[in-house]
Structure 1
């Protein structure tokens, strides 16, 4: 059992490194279609929660940008500043996945402001920027999943000027987040016992609480953290579409890596049965209430 648990943990730890194939890039198209409208709304809301505190001509960095929805909100902020004052800051959107960066670039290119915003491949655990290069750093559902989360927070602190702002979104735990609870319950109930009993506790649960999140970012060099709850609703067009997104998502799919095709078929039936009951039919949308924490803090 210990060997299986170690293998599963190693696989999860490789999901956010440059050394592996671009698994997130392969998922990017489906993510953009089904998940990005939901996570993008949250990411834009995270940016707007901080926008009023940004200095003039702010230099803005997004870590683990995904399809670039937060960076798009930041670029719109810069464009409005330039329209009203004649000057503005700039936006750099980064992700370790070349596939995600390609989508983020398309998102930003649609606003036709290459002199203000760019998207590039960067490892958030070892950023290629000078210290104190930015006035604000954002990461919506990014750093919390890093193999070395502490390195992610430290890098965010390093590239921020003293007094600069950090804003991040982190999912709350299953007891407070119906999305996590209802999405994964039918998977866990149908997993073979040999797999389920060997699964390690997800490390991000350490910061699923406001207290845990505050403690961790303070240790990385941030002060005056403010944590608030943000709720949203994820809508998938059908139960089958939701299962397809889960099946392709690198995080949830890692749970199935040790399962045979027959075992995955059992899990699929469990998931579809639960989702169809929630939706009220096979052709109806399935909706999940979701809850996360927004944290805003300053670089010491």
Structure 2
């Protein structure tokens, strides 16, 4: 079939991803409290594995609206420093707002491509990335850049989704949209939410990039919301990748898809609340 001859276009993908986050920036900021409740435990573990303490200089890659940046900045204290980077200028404006609102003076933001870090060698004690590495077209290039900017003995820690089966709050919408939009399976080498989730995959990626003393942990990360409808609202507003997948459908077809997703997600409602199944991997590697 023709789709077998298709090749993944990393340049187009990166451009589209940037535009997605430009548009979703405000929503990602508005849902910051939900992100904190949902990803707080895995974020705390990421910072622990990265050995981030008072005075640490930390690079936050794909920082988004900065909710985890704020947590990190408070942890490193006034003697520490956090550089929050993202490919989207719009979303970093909200990170700046969060920094100001929290009265912090140890955070800087810079628009930057995580695969091409415009930073000096060996300039950071730690690098973190929360649900960002999965969307880099060239994950190895990004990891090698991280290795370059880390000081000897410095650590990288990243949070990624595990498998679709363990993340049905997200994998169900992806599956329904792929089916309704008649999308082919992901192309070889294509990034995506579950691209590092299978057993041993992120560990191998860290090893191939040159990291040592690698470890990873599974963190149960259920998404608690009031209802399936609220989960759909959250994903509809904030998950730009889903909009890209829906782009070929009419507005009426899109509405029908979101309704089907909501009906399926109702299986996770009980006692007037919604608990969306989610499991994260927190992985760490060290520079020799």
Name the TM-score, length of structure 1 as normaliser: 0.82
Alignment partners' CA distance in 2, 1:73 and 1:55: 12
Tell whether the 8 Å contact from 2:54 to 2:76 is kept in structure 1 after alignment. no
Q: 256-265 or 215-224, which moves further after superposition?
A: 256-265
Runs of 4+ aligned residues of structure 1 deviating over 6 Å after TM superposition are: none
Alignment match, 1:200: 187
1:113 and 2:100 matched: no
Count of aligned residue pairs for this structure pair: 283
> Which runs of 5 or more structure 1 residues have no equivalent in the other structure?
83-87
- Give the 3 Å change call, closer, same or farther, for CA 163–293 of structure 1 in structure 2: same
Alignment match, 1:67: 65
Alignment partners' CA distance in 1, 2:166 and 2:112: 32
1:45 and 2:44 matched: yes
Alignment match, 2:223: 234
Alignment match, 1:85: none
Deviations 1:100-126 (A, max 9, x none): 111111122223232x21122111111
Deviations 1:125-157 (A, max 9, x none): 111110101010000111221122111111111
- Give the 3 Å change call, closer, same or farther, for CA 77–5 of structure 1 in structure 2: farther
Alignment partners' CA distance in 2, 1:238 and 1:134: 41
Alignment partners' CA distance in 2, 1:250 and 1:4: 26
Alignment partners' CA distance in 2, 1:23 and 1:178: 22
Higher Cα radius of gyration? 1
Alignment match, 1:297: 285
1:143 and 2:142 matched: no
* CA drift at 1:276: 3.5
Q: 3-state DSSP class of the match of 1:255?
A: helix
Q: 3-state DSSP class of the match of 1:259?
A: coil
Alignment partners' CA distance in 1, 2:48 and 2:18: 35
- Give the 3 Å change call, closer, same or farther, for CA 277–55 of structure 1 in structure 2: closer
Q: How does 1:149-160 map to 2 (within 5 A)?
A: 149-160=139-150
- Give the 3 Å change call, closer, same or farther, for CA 4–264 of structure 1 in structure 2: farther
> Which runs of 5 or more structure 2 residues have no equivalent in the other structure?
none
Name the TM-score, length of structure 2 as normaliser: 0.85
Tell whether the 8 Å contact from 2:116 to 2:142 is kept in structure 1 after alignment. yes
Tell whether the 8 Å contact from 1:186 to 1:274 is kept in structure 2 after alignment. no
Tell whether the 8 Å contact from 2:137 to 2:191 is kept in structure 1 after alignment. no
Alignment partners' CA distance in 2, 1:265 and 1:163: 51
